[in-house]
Chain A
Amino acid sequence: MSGNPYQEDRGNKDASITRPGMGGEIEHRDSGPARAASADSFLVGEAMTGGYGKGPDILHDCTIAVDRGEIAVIVGPNGAGKSTAMKAVFGMLNMRSGRVLLDGEDITALSPQDRVKKGMGFVPQVRNIFPSMTVEENLEMGAFIREDDIRTTMEQVYDLFPILRDKRDQAAGELSGGQRQQVAVGRALMTQPKVLMLDEPTAGVSPIVMDELFDRIIEVARTGIPILMVEQNARQALEIADHGYVLVQGRNAHTGTGKELLADPEVRQSFLGG
């Protein structure tokens, strides 16, 4: 795949000698320095160009930003690079140019782990929980980097997602899709992030659960945490968004407030089905 002979696993299906499933995909790298910088928004991915590994560029001069107390939504057709843009902001991508600024700091050189320590909370689209651990242990692991008392934060998460309190001793892998997403968001909230990034939080859940999840996300945003979110359900997402970014082929196609984009005839026609 990548031409690395150490990663050639073709033909090995023997789970009695190697454990099946994926290991870690995030490349471990050391962080560079974070520098002071000035920006208009709380979190900005500015003019990002780059792709995975040594592959071709997926993002081209793409800019994403979210302000304090806001919800910013990235929408676009399949393969537009929505998730990639979010991963770029989180440092999981090789950026050839552009920079990422968080709270007046240039964090372009930081590794994903160190961005978490800087206050970024990230909920991946898939594999976003620890399935064999209980709900409570999932939340505890979310707060792994914290040294202080995590009980109040945990209570806040339980207040936000009451169903999790009832299921606190159940293995997270046994929960329904919607409940798992709540665990995933709850886990990310445990670090008390300064900004929360959600990659398709409603993927694969029923419409009713989706509405409930959106309500919860608005509730999180009301507590003052800015939210950057990738969504498939463009219309609903734009309805709750303060800022919307429509990406096409890794480029910013349209940018505006959620209402503006919903009203934009071109956006309506191409993405929202008229």
Chain B
Amino acid sequence: MDLLNAIVALLNFVIVPATAYGAQLALGALGVTLIYGILRFSNFAHGDTMAFGTTITILFTWWFQSLGVSLGPLPTALLALPFGIAGAALLMLGTDRVVYRFYRAQKAVPVILVIVSMGVMFVYNGLVRFIIGVDEQRFDDGDRFIISARDFKEMTGLDEGLALKSTQAITLVVAAIAVALLFWFLNKTRTGKSMRAFSDNEDLALLSGINPERVVVVTWLIVAALATVAGTLYGLDKGFKPFVYFQLLLPIFAAAIVGGLGSPLGAIAGGFVIAYSEVMITYAWKKVAGYLLPESLEPDGLAQLLSTDYKFAVSFAILVVVLLFKPTGLFKGQSV
């Protein structure tokens, strides 16, 4: 019984939240890794792109809510998601037109684009705060739980409850669909293959009649979709606060680099590695230890390795370790 309780506690406080968080990071990291692979630079504006897409999604969610439109048990945000994606796509294409295209025409080296993306980041950041403010917004509705902790306890008779929030389940389902679509697109469609060809060898792609500008536009569109989906799922799960999205940049980059920059599979793996590490290191293990260990060995303290305030230190530490010992990442991206 104690063992079962320990497992349930672990699932409830570590595995389930970390899996949902990992899926959100993976979607974010996929966007970063795509831009890195195809446009050759690390896009620092990615966190704020997520924030912008989410902002638009929230605005549409509120509008639908005021109209009384809903999806029943599902959050209305899912209905607003396509509009958020469209908004983010417009913003990114506009940015590309006004900013990035100039540097492409100059054949600017990618490091300049990195700095440019930082400027874009600040602009997006301001834009989001201007539109929706700096405060936290909650926009989830519909059923909060698929299984609540109390129901689970009553069902199983265990001391520990296992709660499964509907946003967590939705995160996993939507993320799985998005990833499947992305891989299908990159590997099976003509446009997707032309993007991989462009990433492999720009000159030869050009000589094969692949239009570079079209590849760039499609890349931004996909990135806008991935960023908005990632941002909206994170917002549904944990609430939307612009500054938090800016900070998400670190775990997202850590995920992309740990998995191997430029490798979509790596981005997914990296997202989960970072999420699990972050949650496990900042989790207070006292409860689980209490079930598993004999009373004499039970820890007095919380058995928490790091306070949750330091969770970004975890991604940073993993990032440094990976860069030191396996710079190409788990899935052999570009060597660093």
Contacts and interface: CB of A to CB of B under 8 A. Distances in A.
Interface of A: 4, 6-9, 12, 14-28, 112-113, 116-117, 122, 124, 127-133, 137, 140-142, 144-145, 187, 191
Contacts of B107: 4, 6-7, 23-24, 27
B203 A18 contact: no
B193 A19 contact: no
B201 A144 contact: no
A24 B110 contact: no
Main DSSP-derived SS at the B contact region: helix
Main DSSP-derived SS at the A contact region: loop
Top 6 A-B pairs, shortest CB-CB distance = A24-B202, A145-B209, A18-B110, A6-B108, A9-B109, A130-B200
A14 B257 CA distance: 12
10 contacts: A6-B107, A15-B261, A17-B111, A24-B203, A28-B105, A124-B207, A131-B200, A132-B200, A133-B193, A141-B208
Nearest to B36: A19
Given A18-B42, A18-B110, A129 B37 contact: no
A6 B110 contact: no
Given A7-B108, A23-B110, A16 B201 contact: no
Most A CB contacts (10 A, CB to CB) among B196, B203, B207, B335 go to B207
A18 B333 CA distance: 12
B40 interface: yes
B208 A144 contact: yes
A4 to B, nearest CB: 7
A133 B205 CA distance: 12
A28 B103 CA distance: 13
Interface string B14-40: 000000000000000000000011001
Contacts of B105: 28
Most A CB contacts (10 A, CB to CB) among B209, B212, B261, B334 go to B209
A89 to B, nearest CB: 14
A130 B110 contact: no
B207 A18 contact: no
B334 A144 contact: no
Contacts of A122: 207
A18 B114 contact: yes
Interface in B173-220: 190, 193-194, 196-197, 199-210, 212
B261 A16 contact: yes
Contacts of A24: 107, 202-203, 205-206, 212
B323 interface: yes
Contacts of A7: 106-109
Nearest to A111: B206
Contacts of A22: 202
